[in-house]
């Protein structure tokens, strides 16, 4: 599979990147290319169109319902509902926490029934239960973040070379679900919104060091730090992780692509 960084600024869009959104593409056994989004945060819908047509989205996978991870679903709803020529493909599956339709309807000012169910086919994550989207097998694990439901996602594809694993932290502080999601991952896309010595609050976000600790405990091959807010120093985040993680390590940049 291939990962493209659409948006990676933490907590709200920055001058050079939208908030959280990651495009995953992979071919199925018949050679059909599938495209799914990990989160669709503020500002991401515009940048996404530099990479794909919106009609090519096969599913949206939401880790949680904070605005920087889900709010551009409102714009996508408009694109689908009001496309003058009619939307050419079926409703887009949206996996997320319980109540995602109601929350998005509230955000847009719609009645919750029908909300956005005309445009999206909503389904709720169930911890540990994998869902299949084309060639992607996606398993949610519980994260440690101050909202009703938040998940880390383990995404796997299998081809002639074997099984490939990408893990995405969503937003979380250290927790068993994070290590479970990242177990022996080829690439671990992990948030590092906090800095050691600056952000003392717990059960919200990881520091670079705590991301590194999770990657080391999970035996991930490659750690890619993301969700850095505008006030973080990427080199400091990487240095924190480097103290405890000896594998391949980098900080994302917008538009970058990674083969997994």
For 14, 102, 152, the CA distances from 254, given in Å and listed in that order, are 11, 31, 21
Give the C-alpha separation, 56 to 35, whole Å.
7
Candidates 118-126, 155-163, 164-172, 247-255 — which segment interacts with Zn ion by CB under 5 A? Answer: 164-172
Q: Is 66 in the site for Zn ion (CB under 5 A)?
A: yes
User: Is residue 171 a contact residue for Zn ion (CB under 5 A)?
Assistant: yes
Q: Residues 6 or more apart from 78 whose CB is under 8 A from it?
A: none
Q: Which helix (H) or strand (E) holds 6?
A: strand 2-7
**Least distance CB 205 / Zn ion (angstroms):** 8
Phi, then psi, of 177 in degrees rounded to 5 = -60, -35
Least distance in angstroms from the C-beta of 125 to Zn ion:
15
| Nearest to Zn ion of 209, 227 (CB atom) | 227
Q: CB of 145: closest distance to Zn ion in angstroms?
A: 5
Contact 59, 153 (CB under 8 A): no
How many amino acids of this chain bind Zn ion (CB under 5 A)? 3
Single out the residue of 39, 58, 68, 119 in contact with Zn ion (rule: CB under 5 A): 68
81 closest CA partner among 115, 56, 125: 115
What is the smallest separation between the CB atom of 122 and Zn ion, expressed in angstroms?
A: 19
The one segment of 84-92, 168-176, 181-189, 212-220 that binds Zn ion by CB under 5 A:
168-176
Q: Which residues bind Zn ion (CB under 5 A)?
A: 66, 68, 171
């Amino acid at each position: 599979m291939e990962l493209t960084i659409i948006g990676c600024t933490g907590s709200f869009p920055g001058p050079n990147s939208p908030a959280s959104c990651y495009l995953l593409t992979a071919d199925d056994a018949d050679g059909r290319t599938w495209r799914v989004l990990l989160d669709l945060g503020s500002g991401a819908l515009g940048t996404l169109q530099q990479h794909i047509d919106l009609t090519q989205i096969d599913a949206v996978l939401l880790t949680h319902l904070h605005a920087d991870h889900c709010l551009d679903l409102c714009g996508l709803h408009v694109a689908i509902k009001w496309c003058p020529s009619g939307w050419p493909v079926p409703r887009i599956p949206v996996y997320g926490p319980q109540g995602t339709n109601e929350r998005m309807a509230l955000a847009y000012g719609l009645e919750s029934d029908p909300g956005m169910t005309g445009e999206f086919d909503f389904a709720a994550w169930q911890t540990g239960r994998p869902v299949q989207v084309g060639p992607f097998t996606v398993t949610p694990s519980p994260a440690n973040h101050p909202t009703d439901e938040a998940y880390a996602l383990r995404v796997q594809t299998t081809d002639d070379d074997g099984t490939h694993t990408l893990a995405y932290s969503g937003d979380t502080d250290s927790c068993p679900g994070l290590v479970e999601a990242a177990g022996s991952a080829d690439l671990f896309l992990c948030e590092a919104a906090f800095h050691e010595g600056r952000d003392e609050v717990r059960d919200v976000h990881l520091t670079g060091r705590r991301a590194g600790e999770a990657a080391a405990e999970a035996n991930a091959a490659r750690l890619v730090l993301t969700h850095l807010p505008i006030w973080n120093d990427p080199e400091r985040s990487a240095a924190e992780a480097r103290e405890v993680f000896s594998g391949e390590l980098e900080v994302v940049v917008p538009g970058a692509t990674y083969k997994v």
